[in-house]
């Protein structure tokens, strides 16, 4: 077996066993073997021989985290090595939880490197120390490889018998690598411890704040309850006062009705005298008003008579003007009639000379009417005759 491959490390959640009294959750770290089908990649490598130790912090010193389980796709019928990490449950915020998961993933990557180195060492040491078990500094047990791995490792070990010097050099290099990895692991554990302490301090601070807020909330709730009780008492008192006020109003209304009846009984004798005096006063006032109205009526009648007289005078003036206008119209008509008569006479005298030549044609052309004018009024003034000539074309 001359090649080596990177082993696949996965997380798997293991439910708490019923016999565990601490109630912790178990996180299983599974490392698959190198002889899986389809995953072997041949690479030239050196074969270091040595020991490597990986320290895992105890569960009591680790911060309480809520691990998210990552389950493998399928269960393989092969030899697996399990590292159980016990993590206590805790309650933290989502952001702190994500940071813790990130730190845990960094630690897992470092542990995978350590596992890879330990795997190579076990393959080299399996040829010399068959059946031996190695324990880590934290007390966790790492089982030896299976028979198949031992057989494959024995073949590789047979080839390494002639390489003693090279093995020593490889062991030294492996020790240095182990020390470096151990230092890195300690540094990671230190950072993890500091982060845990910081988170614990923040948790204590948050718990204190939460306690203060709860105390304030309780105080507010108590104050609210007291206010609610006070409001209920005030509402009850207000309801009682409302009922009492209604009762007092009813009583007052009854007393007012009784007092009104008593006043009516007492004032019945006085009402007649007061009524007579009031009627006398009203009668005097009415007489005065009637006298005043009579004066106003007489004044208005005088004004109406004066206006009627003015209207009659205006009508007489208008009639006189109409009579003058009619006289003028009659004069104009008389003058026009005289004018027409003169024109007719002139036409007659002028037309007599031409009557012989045009007698036959003018006989039926003109019709002369004489009509006396009738006077439109009762005057005895004589009026002239009016000659009307009708011409036919």
Domain boundaries, position 18: 9-191
* pLDDT at position 191: 85
HSE-CB of 49 using CA atoms within 13 angstroms: 18
Q: Residue 317's pLDDT band (boundaries 50, 70, 90)?
A: very high
Q: How confident is the model at residue 249 (pLDDT cuts 50, 70, 90)?
A: confident
User: What pLDDT, on a 0 to 100 scale, did the predictor assign at position 318?
Assistant: 92
pLDDT score for 266: 77
With respect to residue 256, please indicate whether it lies within any of the assigned structural domains. no
- Asked whether residue 39 is assigned to any structural domain, the reply reads yes
What average pLDDT score do residues 173-191 get? 82
Q: Collect all residues with Cβ–Cβ distance below 8 Å to 34 and sequence separation of at least 6.
A: 4, 5, 7, 40, 119
Per-residue pLDDT tens digits for 350-377 = 887 666 555 544 444 444 444 455 555 5
Q: Is residue 327 part of a domain?
A: no
Q: What is the pLDDT of residue 267?
A: 76
d(C-alpha 17, C-alpha 14), whole Å: 8
Q: Is residue 111 part of a domain?
A: yes
Decide if 150 contacts 117 (C-beta within 8 A).
no
Which position has the higher pLDDT, 275 or 242? 242
- Position 366 scores a pLDDT of 47
Instruction: Compute the average pLDDT of residues 334-351.
Output: 88
Q: Is the pLDDT of residue 231 over 70?
A: yes
Q: pTM of the full predicted structure?
A: 0.24
Confidence check: pLDDT of 67 > 60? no
Asked whether residue 200 is assigned to any structural domain, the reply reads no
The answer to whether position 102 is within a domain reads yes
- The verdict on residue 259 lying in a domain is no
Indicate if the pLDDT at residue 342 is higher than 50: yes
Long-range contacts of 62-65 (CB under 8 A, 24+ apart): 62/87, 62/88, 62/192, 62/196, 63/90, 63/100, 63/192, 63/195, 63/196, 63/199, 63/200, 64/88, 64/89, 64/90, 65/90, 65/97, 65/100, 65/101, 65/104
What total number of domains does the chain contain? 1
Q: What is the pLDDT of residues 74-86, one digit of tens each?
A: 444 443 444 443 3
Helix%, strand%, coil% for the chain, nearest 5: 60, 10, 30
Q: Report yes or no on 209 lying in a domain.
A: no
């Amino acid at each position: 077996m001359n090649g080596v491959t990177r082993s696949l490390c996965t997380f798997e959640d293991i439910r708490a066993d019923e016999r565990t009294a601490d109630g912790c959750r178990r996180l299983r770290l599974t490392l698959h073997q190198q002889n899986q089908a389809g995953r072997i990649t041949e690479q030239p490598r050196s074969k270091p021989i040595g020991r490597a130790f990986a320290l895992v912090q105890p569960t009591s010193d680790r911060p309480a985290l809520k691990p998210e389980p990552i389950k493998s796709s399928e269960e393989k019928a092969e030899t697996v090595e399990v590292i159980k990490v016990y993590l206590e449950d805790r309650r933290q915020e989502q952001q702190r939880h994500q940071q813790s998961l990130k730190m845990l993933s960094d630690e897992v990557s470092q542990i995978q490197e350590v596992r890879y180195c330990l795997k190579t060492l076990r393959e080299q040491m399996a040829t010399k120390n068959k059946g031996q078990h190695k324990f880590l500094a934290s007390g966790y047990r790492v089982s030896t490889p299976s028979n198949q791995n031992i057989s494959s490792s024995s073949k590789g070990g047979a080839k390494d018998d002639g390489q003693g010097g090279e093995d020593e050099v490889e062991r030294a290099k492996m020790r240095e690598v182990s020390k470096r990895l151990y230092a890195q692991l300690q540094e990671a554990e230190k950072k993890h411890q500091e982060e845990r302490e910081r988170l614990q301090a923040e948790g204590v601070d948050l718990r204190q704040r939460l306690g203060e807020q709860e105390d304030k909330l309780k105080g507010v709730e108590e104050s609210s309850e007291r206010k609610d009780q006070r409001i209920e008492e005030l509402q009850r008192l207000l309801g009682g006062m409302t009922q009492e006020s209604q009762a007092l109003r009813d009583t007052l209304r009854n007393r007012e009705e009784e007092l009104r009846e008593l006043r009516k009984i007492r004032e019945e004798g006085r009402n007649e005298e007061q009524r007579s005096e009031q009627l006398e006063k009203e009668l005097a006032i009415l007489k005065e008003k009637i006298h005043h109205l009579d004066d106003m009526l007489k004044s208005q009648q005088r004004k109406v008579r004066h206006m009627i007289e003015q209207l009659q005078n205006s009508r007489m003036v208008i009639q006189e003007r109409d009579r003058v206008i009619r006289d003028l119209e009659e004069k104009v008509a008389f003058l026009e009639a005289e004018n027409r008569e003169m024109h007719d006479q002139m036409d007659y005298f002028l037309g007599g000379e031409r009557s012989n030549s045009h007698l036959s044609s003018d006989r039926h052309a003109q019709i002369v009417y004489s009509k006396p004018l009738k006077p439109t009024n009762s005057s005895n003034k004589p009026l002239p005759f009016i000659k009307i000539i009708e011409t036919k074309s």
